[in-house]
Amino acid sequence: MPDNTRIPAKNNPADNGERLQNVLAQRGVASRRGAADIIKSGVVTVNGARIMQPGHRVDIKHDTVKVDGVVLDPKCEPKRTILLYKPRGLICSAANSQGTTVCDLLRQQIPEKLVPVGRLDKDSEGLLIMSNDGELINILTHPRYGHKKTYNVWVSGAIDKNKLATLRSRMEIDGYVIKPVQVEIIKINPRDNTVKLAFTLSEGRNRQIRKMCELADLRVISLQRIRIGALRIGRMKPGDWRELHENDITTLKRQAFCIDSKDHK
């Protein structure tokens, strides 16, 4: 049975209201792209009717929107963005169906529903931005805005000029040719044949560094993200977090648009 008597009208771009995709993103359900995927999966209803079009327009003051059966709060939370040192073993997701998430870590400390911006795989640690600011999330996750990120990676296996050249090349991973990555040797430990490398890249394919190392016949022992744009890890430890203030966010946005303008010259 419908949740109330109002039935969603047929989708019309001229209709009043907001795109359903944006409504979800503005309330911290997911990024705009993530919200679109959630809607397409069929778990979102408007006034009891299942909606699978991210562009469907709703009037959040009058329509009842549910995600997985949970009513979406019509009020937008105050915008909040933090920088978290993600510990190893946590999943970068707002849903905990596959294990403990970064959202679980913060639930008792932060009342707002923040979502991870980008991802670090379960076995990796380091800097992660979390936010409910839909505009910022879109800027930081859209492929056109290539924020540089730096990772410290301990690997096992002999390293030489050929392997470095391989890691720095336009490698093909899962059918996609990646952009060249800056790779530098930080430390060599000859006792156990391990090497600490610094990777700086402007795109983040799924488990990209791990797959790069595998193609270079190197095994990743640990992976830590230490920089996102101008944000650095400093003295943060696993589980630590700090607020990102307006000047931090302005800097992130400015860097994104500078990168985008360079790419389109």
Assign domain 18-71 one CATH number from 3.10.290.10, 3.20.20.80, 3.30.110.40, 3.40.50.10260.
3.10.290.10
Residue, of 77 and 88, whose pLDDT is higher: 88
Q: List Cα–Cα distances, 82 to 49, 145, 242, 246, in angstroms.
A: 35, 20, 6, 11
Predicted confidence (pLDDT) at residue 85 exceeds the cutoff of 90: yes
Bin 96: left if φ > 0, else alpha if -120 < ψ < 50, else beta.
Answer: alpha
Q: What is the pLDDT of residue 261?
A: 45
Mean pLDDT value across residues 130-140:
83
Assign domain 149-228 one CATH number from 3.40.50.150, 3.60.150.10, 3.30.70.1560, 3.55.50.30.
3.30.70.1560
Mean pLDDT value across residues 80-94:
93
Domain ranges in the chain with CATH number 3.10.290.10? 18-71
Averaged pLDDT score across all residues of the chain = 86
Mean pLDDT value across residues 39-68:
94
Predicted confidence (pLDDT) at residue 13 exceeds the cutoff of 50: no
Spot the catalytic one: 59, 121, 248, 260.
121
Contact 66, 3 (CB under 8 A): yes
Residue, of 81 and 34, whose pLDDT is higher: 81
pLDDT per position as a tens digit, 209-262: 999 999 999 999 999 999 998 899 999 999 999 999 889 888 888 876 554 445
> So what CATH class is 81-144+231-263?
alpha beta
Predicted confidence (pLDDT) at residue 2 exceeds the cutoff of 70: no
Residue, of 99 and 128, whose pLDDT is higher: 128
Domain ranges in the chain with CATH number 3.30.70.1560? 149-228
In the residue annotation, 240 being an active-site residue is answered as no
